[in-house]
Structure 1
Amino acid sequence: MDISEVAQRAGLPASTLRYYEEKGLIMSTGRRGIKRLFAPVVLDQLALIALGRAAGFSLDEIGAMFDARGEPQIDRQTLVDRADSLDVTIRRLSAMRDGLRHAAKCQAPSHLECPQFRRLMTVALARKKGEKARGSAGAGRFGKP
Structure 2
Amino acid sequence: MYRLDIAEVAQRSGLNPSTLRYYEKRGLIASDGRHGLRREYDDSVLTRLALIALGRRAGFSLNEIGVLFRPQGGRLELSRQELQNQAGKLRSQAEELKVTADLLDHIAACSAPSHLECPRFQAILKDAFIPEDTE
> Which category of TM-score, normalised to the shorter sequence, fits these structures?
0.7 to 0.9
TM-score normalised by structure 1 residue count = 0.77
TM-score normalised by structure 2 residue count = 0.83
1:20-99 matched pairs, under 5 angstroms: 20-68=23-71, 71-99=75-103
Displacement over 6 Å in runs of 4+:
none
The answer to whether the Cα contact below 8 Å between 1:100 and 1:117 also exists between their aligned partners in 2 is no
Q: Number of residue pairs matched?
A: 127
**Bigger mean CA offset, 94-103 vs 66-75:** 66-75
Select the structure with the greater relative contact order (CA < 8 A; seq sep ≥ 6). 1
Q: How much is the aligned-residue C-alpha RMSD, in angstroms?
A: 2.2
Offset at residue 35 of structure 1 (A):
0.7
The answer to whether the Cα contact below 8 Å between 2:29 and 2:45 also exists between their aligned partners in 1 is yes
SS in 2 for 1:64: helix
1:114 equivalent in structure 2:
118
Q: Percent identity?
A: 51
Q: 1:103 aligns with which of 85, 97, 107?
A: 107
Listed one character per residue, the Cα deviations across residues 77-107 of structure 1 (whole Å, up to 9, x for unaligned) are: 0111011101111111111111111111112
Query: Which 5+ residue runs of structure 1 have no aligned equivalent?
Result: 128-145
Do the aligned partners of residues 125 and 96 (structure 1) sit closer, same or farther apart at CA in structure 2, a change above 3 Å counting?
closer
Q: Which amino acid aligns with 1:74?
A: L
Offset at residue 38 of structure 1 (A):
0.4
The answer to whether the Cα contact below 8 Å between 2:99 and 2:128 also exists between their aligned partners in 1 is no
1:137 equivalent in structure 2:
none
The answer to whether the Cα contact below 8 Å between 2:23 and 2:29 also exists between their aligned partners in 1 is yes
Do the aligned partners of residues 46 and 71 (structure 1) sit closer, same or farther apart at CA in structure 2, a change above 3 Å counting?
farther
Determine which structure has more spread, i.e. the larger CA radius of gyration. 2
The answer to whether the Cα contact below 8 Å between 2:28 and 2:66 also exists between their aligned partners in 1 is yes
The answer to whether the Cα contact below 8 Å between 1:103 and 1:114 also exists between their aligned partners in 2 is no
Query: Which 5+ residue runs of structure 2 have no aligned equivalent?
Result: none
Determine the C-alpha separation between the residues in 2 that align with 1:33 and 1:124: 59
